[in-house]
Every structure is written in structure tokens, then in C-alpha cells.
Amino acid sequence: MTSEREPFAALDRRFECGSRFLREWVGGSVDVAVVFGSGLGKAAQVLNGQRAIPVGRVPGYPQGRVHGHEGMIRFATLHGHRTLIFLGRIHGYEGFDAVDCAAPIFIAAALGARTAILTNAAGGIHALWRTGTFLYIDDFVVLPMAQRMGGPLSILGDARAASRLPGRSRMRELAFDAAREIGVPLHSGVYGYCSGPSYETDAEIRFLRLIGIDAVGMSTVPEILAAAAHGMESASISCITNVAKPGSGSTSHEDITTVAARAAEDIGRLIHAMIARLRA
């Protein structure tokens, strides 16, 4: 009889060498993985990583090329939790498949992590939000072009698996409790996963609002699915770095990373408070 887990074994082997390398580098297993998106790498300063290594030194780790993604891995022990911190990620529009995009989760799972905290920079679709708003991703929509981008997302399993992930409500409660404690406003809503790297047209903005999407971005969903498939608890938080409004004009990647850098300290404090609430 074929196990549901068996197809994933081949995917895990893609990062086997890198996982062994990092296990030796950190001196054993880890408990938590944190991934920082565009321009949010400065948040890692709040987490006080004890060691750092460029991803180029990790065997088999995919190499991204997008400005604002540092390409570093840090290690820290936070509130008793051994934590791998990934500064930057890669994207499907760079030519990578969904599994490569989820490399931090595959590696962290191989090292024993049971929790993933994911962040990204996203465009705000919700009419009332402003730049710097934080969004807890309650659900997501895989938009048509992204469905086949860089290899089908189905390689990571049924997208609905993420909503069945045990502890999903616990991670949500934990995030909002942490936000209240440190005084950082946190909203919740639906994230739209698109192909990129272009930004939305006016017609697309109106369409996204019509179908109930609150923020849109080009990452994170592969990691959510990989975490679900590995049985990990996960929480995903977007920083709204630009507000998409019909007729608002163009947005540049530099604009996004500038806003993200300003918000990085707060999102770092939020993640620090979240990790403090995790079970030992």
C-alpha cells in the first residue's frame, strides 16, 4: 500500500546534502524556522542571531538574485527554541519550481523543526489599509498564472491541506496575543499568490477586491504548503509595503524594500514575542 508520505520522500532528498551540512553547522536539530521576505532582513537584528552563513555555502541551496533578499541563514536560541532564520527567499518568476521556493521549510523539517513563521512584503488590496500594516494570512488564493509557475504547486500536495493543519488556530491566537502584548496592530485576511514579477493593473486590482483578496504577493504559499505537508505548525504574516489602488501609478521594488525596512523592527519584535509563547 502506498503511503501519502512516500512521494514527499523524493522531494526531501533534493535538500539532503544541505540539510546534513546545516545540521552539522548548528550542532544538531532545530525547533523553529523563520523566513524573512523582501526588505525585512533587518528584523533579524531583533532576534540576535548567534551565527550566520551565506546560502551559497550550503550544498544544493537554490541561489536567488532579487534585490532586498540577503541570502543568509542565521541561527539563534530564542526562549529555549533553537531557531533557523532565513534572510530572503527565491521566487517562481526567477525560474525556480515550487519545491525550490520552499527550500527553507524542507531543510528545517529535516532538522526537526515543528514550527514555521513566514513573512513577506505584499501589496495591499483592502481599500482601508495603509503601508506598514501587518496582515496575518488566514487563507490564500492561488491565482491562475501562479498555479503552474515554476512547476505545478500540486507537487506540494493539496492546497486545502494548509487549512487542515493541526494547530492553525493555535498559531493564529498566539500571533494576535503577541501583537497585543507589544502594541503592534495586526489584521487578518486573504492573501493572493500571483506569478509576478509585474505589479497589478487597475483591472486586476478591481478583480482581486471583487473575489475577496486583501493582499497580493509572489511568495510564501509554497512554504505554507510544504509546512502543512511536513506536519508543521505555521503562521504567515505580510507587511503591506504598497497599496494597490486603481489610478495610483507605478510601484518599484525599491519602494517596497524601503517600506519593509522601516517596518522590520516591529515585525522582528512580533516574531520574538511569538516564539516566546511557543511550547518548550
- Mean pLDDT check: name the lowest of 70-84, 204-218, 223-237, 247-261: 247-261
- Report in angstroms the alpha-carbon separations of 186 from 182, 192, 242: 11, 18, 16
Q: How far is CA 113 from each of CA 33, 34, 85, 215, 238, rounded to the nearest angstrom?
A: 7, 10, 12, 28, 22
- 92 vs 120, higher pLDDT: 120
Total number of domains in the chain: 1
Rounded to whole angstroms, how far apart are CA atoms 40 and 54?
A: 17
Question: Which tens digit of pLDDT belongs to each residue from 235-256?
Answer: 999 999 888 766 555 565 566 6
Residues 142-196 have pLDDT tens digits of 887 776 665 656 667 665 555 555 556 799 999 999 999 999 999 999 999 988 7
Q: State pTM to two decimals.
A: 0.89
Mean pLDDT rounded to a whole number for the chain: 84
Backbone angles phi, psi at 28, to 5 degrees: 135, -150
Asked if residue 163 belongs to a domain, the reply is: yes
Within-domain flag for 51: yes
State the residue range of the domain holding 185: 6-276
DSSP state of 272: H
Q: Is residue 173 part of a domain?
A: yes
pLDDT score for 3: 41
Cβ proximity of 48 and 119 under 8 Å: no
Dist. CA 131–CA 243, nearest whole Å: 6
DSSP E strands, the chain: 32-36, 51-54, 72-78, 81-87, 115-124, 134-142, 187-193, 215-217, 233-243
- CATH number of the domain within which 143 lies: 3.40.50.1580
Q: Report the candidate in 51, 38, 10 with the shortest Cα–Cα distance to residue 196.
A: 38
∠ at Cα 92 (91, 98), nearest 5°?
Answer: 100
Q: Is 1 part of a structural domain of the chain?
A: no
CA distance 174 to 176: 6
